[in-house]
Amino acid sequence: DTGVSQDPRHKITKRGQNVTFRCDPISEHNRLYWYRQTLGQGPEFLTYFQNEAQLEKSRLLSDRFSAERPKGSFSTLEIQRTEQGDSAMYLCASSFGLADTDTQYFGPGTRLTVL
Amino acid sequence: AQKITQTQPGMFVQEKEAVTLDCTYDTSDPSYGLFWYKQPSSGEMIFLIYQGSYDQQNATEGRYSLNFQKARKSANLVISASQLGDSAMYFCAMRASGAGANNLFFGTGTRLTVIP
């Protein structure tokens, strides 16, 4: 399977703990995106990488959130001092980065529950 | 600012029948792309179809077609010959050419249920 993969698929944590999620994009894709999806809503953009450079961050990405893509391949999203409002599905997507018809392909997501 | 509106929270369709899922959008950018994704209960967003704002013809991909009406700012998804496996959430999304051109804006989705 050469699709986008995410790990873990589910994470339950207590409020105040730190969590880290991993995303492995499709190998030839140089763009990687993180989205957050809460119940009953569509995904909302968090941040985007072109290779290893983080080029765009949403206002949703508070200072408790940090994302990295150190070698331009896999990416990690860390949430520090988790809050109950952080409970959501965290989706990763990747794309080639071509203009116009560039299509983002999504992974299965990591469902975070903060108790 | 970009906005996607999906006014149908839920839709039902008989197996083998066609169904149209509505999507309207708002943007001031002259160039944009419209996407439809399917999200089964497993959570993964599955790309279905793409329509560019300058495309002259409506996009088609197998049983999926996009009814693009630019003047009305609508991009409805048509699924023909519905199958039980089509039961899922369906999201319309847009990528504009201006600021934030690298991310997708999603609607709130429509839950489609196919009845045997």
For residue A33, the chain B residues in CB contact (below 8 A) are 102-103
User: Residue B97: CB partners within 8 Å, gap ≥ 6?
Assistant: B29, B30, B31, B32
Per-residue pLDDT at A18: 98
For residue A31, the chain B residues in CB contact (below 8 A) are 102
pLDDT band per the 50, 70, 90 thresholds, residue A98: low
Measured in angstroms, the CA of A107 and the nearest CA of chain B are apart by 6
Asked if A42 is an interface residue toward chain B (Cβ–Cβ < 8 A), one would say yes
Q: Which amino acid is at A46?
A: L
pLDDT band per the 50, 70, 90 thresholds, residue B101: low
Q: What is the mean pLDDT of residues B31-56?
A: 93
Q: Which amino acid is at A54?
A: Q
Q: What is the mean pLDDT of residues B25-43?
A: 92
Burial class (CB in 10 A: 0-12, 13-18, 19+), A98: exposed
Asked if A90 is an interface residue toward chain B (Cβ–Cβ < 8 A), one would say no
Asked if A96 is an interface residue toward chain B (Cβ–Cβ < 8 A), one would say no
Please give the distance of CA A75 from its chain centroid, rounded to a whole number: 8
Inter-chain CB proximity A42 and B4 less than 8 Å: yes
Asked if A105 is an interface residue toward chain B (Cβ–Cβ < 8 A), one would say yes
Dihedral angle of Cα A82, A84, A87, A92, to the nearest 10 degrees: -30
For residue A102, the chain B residues in CB contact (below 8 A) are 33, 95
Count other Cβ atoms within 10 Å, centred on residue B35: 24
The helix (H) or strand (E) run that includes residue B78 is strand B74-79
Average pLDDT for chain A: 93
Range of weakest confidence among A2-11, A91-100, B37-46, B105-114 = A91-100
Q: What is the mean pLDDT of residues A17-39?
A: 95
Asked if B44 is an interface residue toward chain A (Cβ–Cβ < 8 A), one would say yes
Q: What is the mean pLDDT of residues A11-39?
A: 95
pLDDT band per the 50, 70, 90 thresholds, residue B34: very high
User: Residue A98: CB partners within 8 Å, gap ≥ 6?
Assistant: none
**What are the angstrom distances between the C-alpha of B98 and each of A36, A88, B57, B92, B101?**
22, 28, 24, 19, 5
Q: What is the mean pLDDT of residues B81-101?
A: 87
Choose among B40, B47, B37, B34: nearest CA to B3.
B34
Choose among B91, B51, B46, B83: nearest CA to B67.
B51
For residue B107, the chain A residues in CB contact (below 8 A) are 42
Per-residue pLDDT at B98: 60
Asked if A56 is an interface residue toward chain B (Cβ–Cβ < 8 A), one would say yes
For residue range A31-51, what is the model confidence (pLDDT) as tens digits? 999 999 999 899 999 999 999
Which residues make beta-bridge pairs with A6? A23
For residue range B60-71, what is the model confidence (pLDDT) as tens digits? 999 999 999 999
Report the distance separating Cα B115 and Cα B51, nearest Å: 29
Choose among A86, A103, A112: nearest CA to A31.
A103
For residue range A63-76, what is the model confidence (pLDDT) as tens digits? 999 999 998 899 99
Sign of CA dihedral A111, A113, B3, B8: positive
